[in-house]
A and B are shown apart, each in its own frame.
Chain A
Amino acid sequence: MTATTDAAFSTQKYLQSRARWSPIEIVFWLATLLPFFLFPNYLSLASQIAITALFALSLDLILGYAGIVSLGHAAFFGLGAYGAGIFSKFVWGEPLTGLVVAGAVAGIVGYATSFIIARFRHLTLIMITLGLGFLVHELANSAHFITGGADGLQGVRIWPIFNYFRFDLYGYTAYSYSLVVLFLTFLVARRLINSPFGLALQGIRENSNRMPAIGANSRAHIRKIYTISATIAGIAGGLLAQTTETVSLGSIDFQRSADVVVMLVLGGVGQLYGGLVGAVIFMVARDQFSGLNPQFWYFPIGVLLVAVVMFLPGGILGGLSRLTARIRRRWS
């Protein structure tokens, strides 16, 4: 009996240790505060990075954890952006309700399309996500009367947060706001990954053929995570609309869908932080390289992408964790 209790105790400890915050994580989140002190002139960029990181996190939930490759995820980002923008224009400019609207619009469309998504796999699935992405882009383009089409959505005015924190020119409020939303959403995602549902998602990724044989309804799981992912992507889009007070077709186009996949792969798929790290590298690289040569800034990104997928399975984070494991082994 004692053996059972001991064993049960250690299984318990094992599961808790999986979910425990590591010192590196705490350092990471503290480091997100550095731009306030070190780069006060780059807070607008920092805000864009936080928003993009949130978008990449939403993709990681379906790609990294459930194995659903999407080339049309910008559809949900864009729906959120237009949702928040149009809401502020025609209803009111209160930002938090606007963000709820952004998440809800994307989440509802995500839920509706999830019934298609859950039925297919592999190339078929990728093509469906791509096609749905094009579809939503064209809708936004042709609904000129409400979205502004290629001219972009003008006239977005956002009230101060809590009627107090005004969106300033330097992006101080914008970055604070984006960072808080990113962090809170990250907490939700982290909890989700360490839940029974998160384990089921990993089961789908690891071996979708086994899932029905253990009685799992994989389609229901996929519908659920796709809806959650779409909602988070929508919130990210809503943040962009609110902090920049404009929405362009660029928020919903194929380029954005492709970029976010690149970021996630660079950072590392299925590790929660991969999208965050990838977004930082990608956005900073774009900012720096496009300053040097605006036409060819994808060149170094391309080189980096090829190098990472060839030599660093698990992306930059996967490479780093292998490196630290090796160092630890040498020192112990």
Chain B
Amino acid sequence: MTAAIALSTRGLNKRFGSLVVASDIAISLPRGVRYALIGPNGAGKTTLINLMTGMLKPDDGQILLGDKDITRLEPQHRVKLGLVRTFQINTLFPNLSALESVTLAVCEREGIAPTWWRGLSSFRAATDEAYEILKSLNLANDCYRPTRELAYGRQRLLEIALSLAARPSVLLLDEPAAGVPKDESQGLFTAIAGLSQDITILFIEHDMDVVFRFASRIIVMVGGRILLEGTPQEIAEDPRVREVYLGGRDG
């Protein structure tokens, strides 16, 4: 796993009937880079994450994690290899506490989740690690409360905490700040920016301030295709991007 490219796709295609949601997607994410994936609604951004994580099966094409072809692997096996995602709509465990939720994710990573004859409290390393992850995201004070009682912004952080428990090498964040007020979303992205530089991150985001501030490179998708890939400056100056995305609708 020392390849310079952390995650790449080749000729990825997916259609639902006559609707093309992914067309010849070829991207490669170098290790440690912070990528933003932008594009208008319906451009196929979430679909691309679903394809890469195995929640959707591509019609054809290839997905590689490092040098390893993962195109046919089940989602949970991709997670085990370090390709982890979060969800645009909170996909949490409402009646479990934050500590239980993250402990569960640690247990799954460590392969101790099938153990049924020993109490959870005897797996101290797992709970300690879960607590440290929650603390690093400022969730320590809320970690004993059921998830459903947490404020929405805290639940968004728990989304990320769950993904970190899987020790990702590549992290795909599907609108991590979706539904969070603008003043809170900066804090959320500061937390994301503070994650280990060993983790390659791709995030979907609509707020251009956030994108330009936190992404080192940007991918623009339109109509199921990659329109452009480049540095924030290249993207900002590209007339096509301005037309389809940045200023297209407002004139």
Contacting residues of chain A (180-200) with chain B, CB-CB under 8 angstroms? 191-192, 194-200
Give the size category of B's interface with A: 35 or more
Q: Please, how many angstroms separate the alpha-carbon atoms of A133 and B104 in the complex?
A: 33
Tell me how far the C-beta of A324 lies from the nearest C-beta in chain B, rounded to whole angstroms. Answer: 18
A15 at the interface (CB under 8 A from B): yes
The reply to whether B131 and A216 form a contact with Cβ atoms under 8 Å apart is no
**A213 near B87: Cβ-Cβ < 8 Å:** yes
Contacts of B79 in A (CB 8 A): 212-215
Comparing A89-97, A202-210, A235-243, A286-294, the segment that makes contact with chain B is A202-210
Please name the residue on chain B nearest to A195 by beta carbon: B116
| Residues of chain B lying within 8 A (CB to CB) of residue A255 | none
Bound-state CA distance A92–B93 (Å) is: 49
Chain A residues, CB < 8 A from B130:
11
CA distance A192 to B132 in the complex (A): 26
For B121, give its contact among A12, A210, A218 (CB under 8 Å): A12
- Please tell me if A116 contacts chain B, counting CB pairs below 8 Å: no
CB of B119 within 8 Å of the partner chain: yes
Cβ-defined partner of A15 (8 Å) among B75, B108, B127, B135? B127
The complex places the Cα of A121 from the Cα of B55 at a distance, in Å, of 17
C-alpha gap A257/B50 in the complex (Å): 39
Judged by a CB distance under 8 angstroms, whether A7 is at the interface is yes
Neighbouring B residues of A206 by C-beta, 8 Å: 92-96
What is the CB-to-nearest-CB distance from B46 to chain A, in angstroms, rounded to a whole number?
Answer: 13
| CB neighbours of B76 from chain A (8 A) | 211-213, 215-218
Query: A198 CA to B100 CA in the complex, in Å?
Result: 11
B84 touches A199 (CB 8 A): no
Please state if A15 and B121 are interface contacts (CB–CB under 8 Å). Answer: yes
- A19→B109 CA distance, assembly (Å): 23
List of B residues within 8 angstroms of A220 by Cβ: 114
List B contacts of A228 (CB < 8 A): 116
Known: A202-B96, A203-B96, A207-B92. A215 touches B116 (CB 8 A): no
15 contacts between A and B (CB under 8 A): A11-B130, A11-B131, A12-B121, A12-B127, A18-B121, A196-B118, A198-B120, A200-B113, A202-B93, A203-B96, A207-B94, A211-B76, A213-B91, A214-B104, A218-B76
10 smallest CB-CB distances across A and B, nearest first, come from: A215-B79, A197-B116, A206-B93, A15-B121, A212-B75, A214-B105, A212-B76, A200-B113, A196-B107, A216-B108
Tell me the B residues contacting A by CB distance below 8 Å: 53-55, 74-76, 79-80, 84-85, 87, 91-96, 99-101, 103-105, 107-109, 112-121, 123-124, 126-128, 130-132, 135, 140, 143-144, 162-163, 165-166
**Beyond A196-B114, A207-B92, A212-B76, 10 extra complex contacts between A and B, CB < 8 Å:** A15-B119, A192-B116, A194-B120, A197-B113, A197-B115, A199-B100, A203-B96, A207-B93, A216-B113, A220-B114
